[in-house]
Structure 1
Amino acid sequence: MGSEAAAALLGAVRACGQDQLLRFWPQLGPGQRRALLADLATLGPAGLGEHCHRALRAWGQRRHRRDRRRLLRDALQDPPDPADRPLSARLRPLPPDALGGARRHPPHTLRRWELEGFHQIAQNRVAVLLLAGGQGTRLGVTYPKGMYSVGLPSGKTLYQLQAERIRRVEELAGQKSGSRCTVPWYIMTSEFTLGPTARFFEEHGYFGLDPSDVVMFEQRMLPAVTFDGKAILERKDKIAMAPDGNGGLYRALEDNRILEDMEQRGIQYVHVYCVDNILVKMADPVFIGFCVLRGADCGAKVVEKAYPAEPVGVVCQVDGVFQVVEYSEIGPETVQARNPDGSLVYSAGNICNHFFTRSFLETVTREFESLLQPHVAVKKVPYVDEEGNLVTPDKPNGIKMEKFVFDVFQFAKNFVAFEVLREEEFSPLKNADTADKDSPTTARRALLWQHYRWALEAGGRFPRGSPSGVSPDQDPIPGAQEPPAICEISPLVSYFGEGLATYLKDKELQSPFILDEHEAKVLAAA
Structure 2
Amino acid sequence: MSFKTSSVKINPVPTQAQVDALKAKYAAARQEQVFTFYDSLSPEEQTALYDQLSKLDVDRVNRIYKKAVSSLESSSTNLSISPLPNDSFDSVLDATESKQEEWESIGLKSISENKVAVILMAGGQGTRLGSSAPKGCYDIGLPSHKSLFQLQAERILRLQKIAKDTTGTQGQVVIPWYVMTSGPTRAATEEFFQSHGYFGLEKENVIVFEQGILPALTDDGKIFLETKSKIAVAPDGNGGIYAALRNENVLTDLTSRDILYVHAYCVDNCLVRVADPVFIGYSISKHADCGAKAVRKAYPEEPVGLIALKDGKFNVVEYSEFDPTLAALTKANGQLEYGAANIANHFYTVDFLKSVERFEGELEYHIAKKKIKHVDLKTGELQSPTKPNGMKMELFVFDVFPFTERMSVLEVDRKEEFSPLKNAPGTGVDDPDTSRRDIISQHVRFVEKAGGEVVAGVGETQDKLTFEISPLVSYAGEGLEGLKGKTIRTPAVINTVDDIEKVVLS
Question: Which TM-score applies when normalising by structure 1?
Answer: 0.85
Please tell me the residue identity of whatever aligns with 1:108: S
Does 2:46 align with 1:33?
yes
User: Does the CA-based 8 Å contact 2:182-2:210 persist in structure 1?
Assistant: yes
Does 2:15 align with 1:2?
yes
CA-to-aligned-CA distance 1:260-311 (integer Å, 9 cap, x gap): 2212212111111111111110110111111112222211100011222222
Post-superposition offset of 1:47: 4.4
Deviates more, 1:249-258 or 1:139-148: 139-148
Q: Which residue of 2 aligns with 1:117?
A: 107
- 1: CA distance, partners of 2:247 / 2:280: 27
User: Does the CA-based 8 Å contact 1:140-1:431 persist in structure 2?
Assistant: no
* Equivalent position to 2:232, from 210, 230, 240: 240
Does 2:374 align with 1:383?
yes
Q: Which residue of 2 aligns with 1:62?
A: 72
Q: Which residue of 2 aligns with 1:461?
A: 454
The residue matched to 1:128 in structure 2 has which SS?
Answer: strand
User: Does the CA-based 8 Å contact 2:469-2:493 persist in structure 1?
Assistant: yes
The residue matched to 1:160 in structure 2 has which SS?
Answer: helix
Post-superposition offset of 1:181: 0.6
Please tell me the residue identity of whatever aligns with 1:460: E
Closer, same or farther in 2 for the Cα pair 1:395/1:444, shift >3 Å? farther
Post-superposition offset of 1:370: 2.5
Taking only the aligned residue pairs, the percentage that are identical comes to 45
User: Does the CA-based 8 Å contact 2:473-2:497 persist in structure 1?
Assistant: no
* Equivalent position to 1:523, from 481, 502, 505: 502
Please tell me the residue identity of whatever aligns with 2:45: Q
* Equivalent position to 1:100, from 76, 90, 93: 90
Post-superposition offset of 1:390: 5.2
Post-superposition offset of 1:238: 1.7
Does 2:459 align with 1:514?
no
User: Does the CA-based 8 Å contact 1:452-1:483 persist in structure 2?
Assistant: no
Closer, same or farther in 2 for the Cα pair 1:428/1:384, shift >3 Å? farther
Q: Which residue of 2 aligns with 1:499?
A: 479
Q: Which residue of 2 aligns with 1:284?
A: 276
Q: Which residue of 1 aligns with 2:243?
A: 251
CA-to-aligned-CA distance 1:152-198 (integer Å, 9 cap, x gap): 22111111111111000001111112333111111222222222211
Q: Which residue of 2 aligns with 1:322?
A: 314
- 2: CA distance, partners of 1:226 / 1:217: 29
CA-to-aligned-CA distance 1:231-284 (integer Å, 9 cap, x gap): 222333221212222222222222233222212212111111111111110110
Please tell me the residue identity of whatever aligns with 2:147: T
Please tell me the residue identity of whatever aligns with 1:110: Q
User: Does the CA-based 8 Å contact 1:299-1:417 persist in structure 2?
Assistant: yes
The residue matched to 2:303 in structure 1 has which SS?
Answer: coil
Please tell me the residue identity of whatever aligns with 1:292: I
CA-to-aligned-CA distance 1:340-359 (integer Å, 9 cap, x gap): 54422111011111111122
* Equivalent position to 2:167, from 157, 169, 177: 177
Post-superposition offset of 1:434: 5.9
Closer, same or farther in 2 for the Cα pair 1:162/1:26, shift >3 Å? same
Please tell me the residue identity of whatever aligns with 2:370: K
- 2: CA distance, partners of 1:303 / 1:412: 21
Post-superposition offset of 1:465: 11
Post-superposition offset of 1:8: 3.9
Residue pairs, 1:208-357, within 5 angstroms: 208-357=200-349
The residue matched to 2:252 in structure 1 has which SS?
Answer: helix
Deviates more, 1:139-148 or 1:114-123: 139-148
Post-superposition offset of 1:19: 4.4
Please tell me the residue identity of whatever aligns with 1:133: G
The residue matched to 2:420 in structure 1 has which SS?
Answer: coil
- 1: CA distance, partners of 2:342 / 2:501: 41
CA-to-aligned-CA distance 1:94-124 (integer Å, 9 cap, x gap): 1222112211211111111112211111111
User: Does the CA-based 8 Å contact 2:488-2:504 persist in structure 1?
Assistant: no
Structure 2 unaligned runs (5+)? 1-13
Q: Which residue of 2 aligns with 1:152?
A: 142
User: Does the CA-based 8 Å contact 1:452-1:485 persist in structure 2?
Assistant: no
Q: Which residue of 1 aligns with 2:4?
A: none
- 2: CA distance, partners of 1:252 / 1:219: 5
Please tell me the residue identity of whatever aligns with 2:454: R
Question: Which TM-score applies when normalising by structure 2?
Answer: 0.88
The residue matched to 1:417 in structure 2 has which SS?
Answer: strand
Deviates more, 1:309-318 or 1:390-399: 390-399
- 2: CA distance, partners of 1:407 / 1:271: 17
User: Does the CA-based 8 Å contact 2:224-2:231 persist in structure 1?
Assistant: yes
Closer, same or farther in 2 for the Cα pair 1:452/1:327, shift >3 Å? same
The residue matched to 1:216 in structure 2 has which SS?
Answer: strand
Supply the RMSD in Å over aligned alpha carbons. Answer: 2.8
User: Does the CA-based 8 Å contact 1:502-1:524 persist in structure 2?
Assistant: no
Closer, same or farther in 2 for the Cα pair 1:98/1:11, shift >3 Å? closer
Closer, same or farther in 2 for the Cα pair 1:517/1:235, shift >3 Å? farther
Closer, same or farther in 2 for the Cα pair 1:518/1:106, shift >3 Å? closer
Please tell me the residue identity of whatever aligns with 1:461: V
Closer, same or farther in 2 for the Cα pair 1:507/1:363, shift >3 Å? same
User: Does the CA-based 8 Å contact 2:455-2:462 persist in structure 1?
Assistant: no
CA-to-aligned-CA distance 1:453-480 (integer Å, 9 cap, x gap): 223333033146999xxxxxxxxxxxxx
User: Does the CA-based 8 Å contact 1:449-1:482 persist in structure 2?
Assistant: no
- 1: CA distance, partners of 2:156 / 2:29: 49
Does 2:350 align with 1:370?
no
User: Does the CA-based 8 Å contact 2:180-2:208 persist in structure 1?
Assistant: yes
Closer, same or farther in 2 for the Cα pair 1:136/1:15, shift >3 Å? farther
Please tell me the residue identity of whatever aligns with 1:520: D
User: Does the CA-based 8 Å contact 1:138-1:430 persist in structure 2?
Assistant: yes
Closer, same or farther in 2 for the Cα pair 1:441/1:154, shift >3 Å? same
User: Does the CA-based 8 Å contact 2:126-2:132 persist in structure 1?
Assistant: yes
* Equivalent position to 1:164, from 154, 160, 165: 154
- 2: CA distance, partners of 1:428 / 1:369: 29
Q: Which residue of 1 aligns with 2:353?
A: 361
The residue matched to 2:265 in structure 1 has which SS?
Answer: strand
- 2: CA distance, partners of 1:448 / 1:373: 40
Q: Which residue of 2 aligns with 1:475?
A: none
The residue matched to 1:127 in structure 2 has which SS?
Answer: strand
Q: Which residue of 1 aligns with 2:467?
A: 487
